[in-house]
Amino acid sequence: MNCHDVLAALPAAALSDEALWWVEALVRRLIQHAARNAPPSLSQRLEEEWLADLAARHGQMARLRLAIGCCWATRAITREHVAANVPATTSATGNTIMTAYAQHDSSFVSRRTTAVALIVCLHGVLIYFLATGLVHRMAAVIPPLIQIPVTDDAPTRHPPPPPLQPNLAPTRLEVPEPDLTVEVPPDANTIRGPLIEQPPALPPKVLNRVLGGPGKGFPNTADYYPPAAIRMGDKGIASVRVCVDGNGRLSADPTIARSSGSARLDEGAVRLAKAGSGHYRATTEDGRPVSSCFPFLIRFDFRD
């Protein structure tokens, strides 16, 4: 096992909690391996020293960096130990040794070449994982957090359905004629007989209305984050109002209901809302999708 193995194992280790234990064991193995490859006179000391310094490190990545650094240190220590091969007591001031090491310091070409090669390999590994679907797996793990449907605005008013017509079949009432004959002047406003009470109108039916919003397959906000806004450090939340038909498609151009404070972000929000046509979750009334207009929030934050 060497440092290259560790670098290759990094992306897999980041995917699961179980990998934390694995990384911890790997770190200790790397340090022990590095110390044992050091000159025999220093091997035991370096192992104990590095493991002690490892205990002072917090965070898996910091500990991993220390272990990888120890691999690197072993190479340098071994090379210098052989190159110098001068007892420390031969010079009271150590000028001889320091001069030798200073000369060695200037010959960094091979180390730089190795470092560049390592960096290139690391980028290659990252590109490989991104190209082979790691990004999709990570996207599936990360919950969508940008699109938040809100209900603070008044919902679109639709005319209530007509109330059910009661059965008002004319009822023939038999009104006995009074025996008393009264001379009444003819008057059109005179009411003859008792009033017939109309049955009360039924109350309007209450609809179970669920407001729509971004649905499955809605585009990722990060893809519509304007690059200029990222460069300028723009962050904010825009409220976009969309009108969506029953199939989740836009029936009108989206508009900014509340600006994010940045024209660039507002433009990106409108583009995102347009791109989401066909991926909206339509408003439902009693489970039946209907056309409606509603606002929803789009948050742009490049730290996400």
Partner 1 sequence: MGMSLQTLRVLEAFLENPTDQLSGADVQKASGLASGTLYPILLRLESAGWFVSRWEAINPSSAGRPRRRLYRLTPTGLARASEVFASFGRGVLA
What is the binding site for partner 1 (CB under 8 A)? 42, 45-46, 48-53, 55-57, 65-66, 68-73, 76-77, 80, 84, 86, 88-89, 91-95, 97-99, 101-103, 105-106
Closer to partner 1 by CB, 11 or 69: give it.
Answer: 69
Least Å distance, CB 116 to partner 1, is 15
Closer to partner 1 by CB, 90 or 171: give it.
Answer: 90
Closer to partner 1 by CB, 22 or 108: give it.
Answer: 108
CA gap 98, 33 in Å, rounded: 28
Closer to partner 1 by CB, 24 or 49: give it.
Answer: 49
Closer to partner 1 by CB, 51 or 243: give it.
Answer: 51
Q: 258, 281, 282, 285: which is closest to 269 by C-alpha?
A: 258
Q: Are 266 and 256 in contact (CB under 8 A)?
A: yes
Give me the helix-helix angle, 3-13 and 60-84, nearest 10°: 180
Q: At which residue do the structure tokens 């340098």 appear?
A: 76
Least Å distance, CB 73 to partner 1, is 4
Q: 24, 80, 78: which is closest to 51 by C-alpha?
A: 24
Least Å distance, CB 41 to partner 1, is 11
Least Å distance, CB 99 to partner 1, is 6
Least Å distance, CB 3 to partner 1, is 9
Q: 28, 44, 37, 30: which is closest to 78 by C-alpha?
A: 37
Q: At which residue do the structure tokens 């004959």 appear?
A: 181
Residue 230, helix vs strand vs coil: helix
Closer to partner 1 by CB, 10 or 275: give it.
Answer: 10
CA gap 28, 30 in Å, rounded: 5
Least Å distance, CB 105 to partner 1, is 4
Q: How many CA atoms, within 13 angstroms, populate the side-chain half-sphere of residue 210?
A: 10
